[in-house]
Structure 1
Amino acid sequence: MNRPMNFEHLVTLFQKTHEEVQNRALRAINLSLVTRNWLFGQYIVEFEQHGADRAAYGANLVDALSTRLKQLGIKGVSATRLRLYRTFYREYQQIAQTSPDSLVKSSPANPIQPTLSGELIVAESMQALSPRFTLGWSHYIELLTLDDTAERRFYEIEAAANQWSVRELQRQIASSLYQRLALSRDKDEIRRLAFDGQIVEKAADLIKNPLVLEFLGLEDRPHYSEEELESAIIDQLEIFLLELGKGFLFEARQKRFTFDNDHFRVDLVFYNRLLRCYVLIDLKRNKLTHQDLGQMQMYVNYFDRYVKLSDELPTVGIVLCHRKNDALVELTLPKEANIFASKYQLYLPSKEELKAQLQEITNELKQGAGRGGNGELKMEGEK
């Protein structure tokens, strides 16, 4: 039986309902703004291509349009903004390609036309297009700074799926999340990042290389102890979970277990709800050794035998180190091991260096496709 509502509960109910309505209204306004800006960009592009008197304005079109629109009291129509809307339309022109024929008149060359002659009703156009955008305008401004279509698409998918704030999107772009994930994966999985985002289906999907910990605010110097690094991570645990990736829940720090009268401690213990398994992290402030990997193997074995439930997947072990030797890792660990070594760094990585490494892999894939291999990396719409 439900308890009767008292007056304070009544007030709280009103407050929560009002806040929810406000939040929904703000989200609706933001999406409408995105749609408006896309349409503004479309109008400019169409006029530049088909306008009856476009020759009279030429290169001065955007400046003249900005002046006239400001006189009408329309906000956000500076010449700089109008050029941005034009770029937005050009980069996201495919948004309209699946619009219902009942709402738009389309052609293969121009998915929506001719808006300038009045055949497209603005209200219907807004209604048809708004659901196709998933982020706020500030998010799209950040995305437009990316030249690579695959990279931009990846961040758009991830920002929407994880409800990233603009600030978090900026950090993920600055930390080269796309390149780090791509370089941590099998070559055949790189293309999937652009179409599906980060999909966590197996232990290897959790790995980023390197893991960037610039948010800890620590200088890049060699004499931090493992305890200092661990304490800094705990202080910034929420951001650290975001850097780790999807589905991570924090369980314990310095998790102690005893085996055969010996005491052991795992630096950090997490649980990943997507894989339904424990994830153990050991911090090494210097170069990775085979003893470090052996120690993690023992931790993983203990959790698999004495901690995890029968319906949970095998435990994953990650050794975070400042330096690592890939050949040593490959020689020490069996191929089927659920143990991974990943570098960490206390500063943002060189995006140019990561892009260069990723470009090498992309070129190999394209060469393989040219020889009839299955390394196809074409994007949608490419011939």
Structure 2
Amino acid sequence: MNKPNKNTLFQSVKSLIQAAQQQIIRNINTTMLLTYFEIGRMIVEDEQDGKERADYAIGTITQLSTELTNEFGKGYSPDNLERFRKFYLLYQNRISASVMRKFEGAEEKNISATPMRKSTIIQSMIGQSPFPFSLSWTHYIQLMKIPDENERSFYEIEATQNNWSVRELQRQFNSAIYERLALSRDKEGVKELAKKGQIIESPTDALKSHYVLEFLNLKEDNRYTENELETAIINKLEHFMLELGKGFLFEGRQRRFTFEGDSFFVDLVFYNRLLKCFVLFDLKLGKLTHQDIGQMQMYVNYYDRVVKTKDENSTIGIILCKQENKTVIEFTLPENNKTIFAKEYKEVLPSKAELRKQLA
């Protein structure tokens, strides 16, 4: 019998240990979240009797903080206890149905549904699947700062599905991705964002109203060339792909094709695995012209007729420009256009207030 390769053995043991560590981390996170949720519930029911606010709430939380800190040490400041309280108030409907089903089962067995019994029932939910809270406590601290319920739900779904770090969640919120996606959708599409996050089924689903490239550190009053813009994007490719959204894979830059001795170059080429198509980017510093649209149309036609396979969908062309020209777009592209789009890019984070005003 052949002896196992030492390196193979090491990798197998390493994978096992890492999987165990991740499981331990998930269990700890689960326990923490439900513990904080329960503390929040106890505070709300004790001092407010289920109402939204009580006059003596601050005093009660301060006293409780002192007692818990004396018993358990750091982590139970008045601010943290207020976060637990808010966590419960914002997410109580998340697990209320599960708790009520367990209450009904308890009543059938003549078990009193007392507050202590309710606490025991919620504690028993730890480890169940699907777990009602999918992110870390630090993520929820950021989410609780978002007052709009639909917007908060959207960011929670996207952070979960895309495995956003807390820093990336903050960046996406600051760049107003929710508003920028909502501006490119109808009323029903906005509702879907809050319920399901960003669903990619058509080219327009993958688009934002504009793109924010503040991570490139380009100053609005500084001059730079299209080549410098392209190089800056390549140097920050991971950030750029996060800004693009779901399903994008980088295929290459300056992709060349030649007609009758004349060479043409596509600035950036991506592939979207959800749409199953190539996505071409042409970078423009000035105001959009009809020549820019015609050039992109040629690029798209070439990829559709020469590069893509029969199983792939039509190529998408995006002209990323400093300034759109809606009239030129309207009269250059056909009314049923679904493949070529012009989108502005911004060097600085947008004003969320202005975007919300547009959305309203």
Q: Structure 2-normalised TM-score?
A: 0.91
Runs of 4+ off more than 6 Å = none
Instruction: Look up the match of 1:357.
Output: 358
Task: Give, in whole Å, the separation in 1 of the partners of 2:152 and 2:194.
Answer: 8
Instruction: Look up the match of 1:294.
Output: 294
Q: Return closer, same or farther for 1:57/1:209 CA change in 2, 3 Å cut-off.
A: closer
Deviation at 1:185, TM superposition (A): 2.2
Q: How does 1:334-349 map to 2 (within 5 A)?
A: 334-337=334-337, 338-349=339-350
Q: Return closer, same or farther for 1:80/1:355 CA change in 2, 3 Å cut-off.
A: same
Deviation at 1:92, TM superposition (A): 0.9
1:81-127 C-alpha deviation (Å, 9 max, x unpaired): 00111111111111123205453469xxxxxx966344541631545
Aligned 8 A contact 1:286 1:322 in 2? yes
Residue 177 in 1 paired to residue 182 in 2? no
Q: Return closer, same or farther for 1:307/1:59 CA change in 2, 3 Å cut-off.
A: closer
Instruction: Look up the match of 2:165.
Output: 165
Instruction: Look up the match of 2:35.
Output: 36
**What amino acid maps onto 1:227 in structure 2?**
N
Using the TM superposition, name which of 215-224 and 140-149 deviates more. Answer: 215-224
Residue 7 in 1 paired to residue 16 in 2? no
Q: Return closer, same or farther for 1:268/1:66 CA change in 2, 3 Å cut-off.
A: same
Deviation at 1:134, TM superposition (A): 0.9
What is the RMSD computed on CA atoms of the aligned residues?
2.3
SS of residue paired to 2:4: coil
Which consecutive unaligned segments of at least 5 residues does structure 2 have? 106-111
Instruction: Look up the match of 1:246.
Output: 246
1:29-76 C-alpha deviation (Å, 9 max, x unpaired): 12221111111111111112339xxx9966411011111112221642
Tell me how many residue pairs correspond in the alignment: 349
**What amino acid maps onto 2:292 in structure 1?**
D
Task: Give, in whole Å, the separation in 2 of the partners of 1:291 and 1:188.
Answer: 35
Aligned 8 A contact 2:278 2:316 in 1? yes
Q: How does 1:134-153 map to 2 (within 5 A)?
A: 134-153=134-153
Deviation at 1:218, TM superposition (A): 1.9
Task: Give, in whole Å, the separation in 2 of the partners of 1:32 and 1:85.
Answer: 14
Instruction: Look up the match of 1:62.
Output: 61
SS of residue paired to 1:103: helix
SS of residue paired to 1:99: helix
Task: Give, in whole Å, the separation in 2 of the partners of 1:252 and 1:125.
Answer: 48
Aligned 8 A contact 1:222 1:285 in 2? no
Instruction: Look up the match of 2:88.
Output: 89
Task: Give, in whole Å, the separation in 1 of the partners of 2:327 and 2:233.
Answer: 28
1:121-141 C-alpha deviation (Å, 9 max, x unpaired): 163154569811111101101
Aligned 8 A contact 2:210 2:345 in 1? yes
SS of residue paired to 2:199: coil
Task: Give, in whole Å, the separation in 1 of the partners of 2:223 and 2:96.
Answer: 56
Using the TM superposition, name which of 176-185 and 326-335 deviates more. Answer: 326-335
Using the TM superposition, name which of 85-94 and 227-236 deviates more. Answer: 85-94
SS of residue paired to 1:72: helix
Instruction: Look up the match of 2:76.
Output: 77
Instruction: Look up the match of 1:308.
Output: 308
Aligned 8 A contact 2:226 2:285 in 1? yes
Task: Give, in whole Å, the separation in 2 of the partners of 1:94 and 1:58.
Answer: 22
Q: Percent identity?
A: 48
**What amino acid maps onto 1:77 in structure 2?**
Y
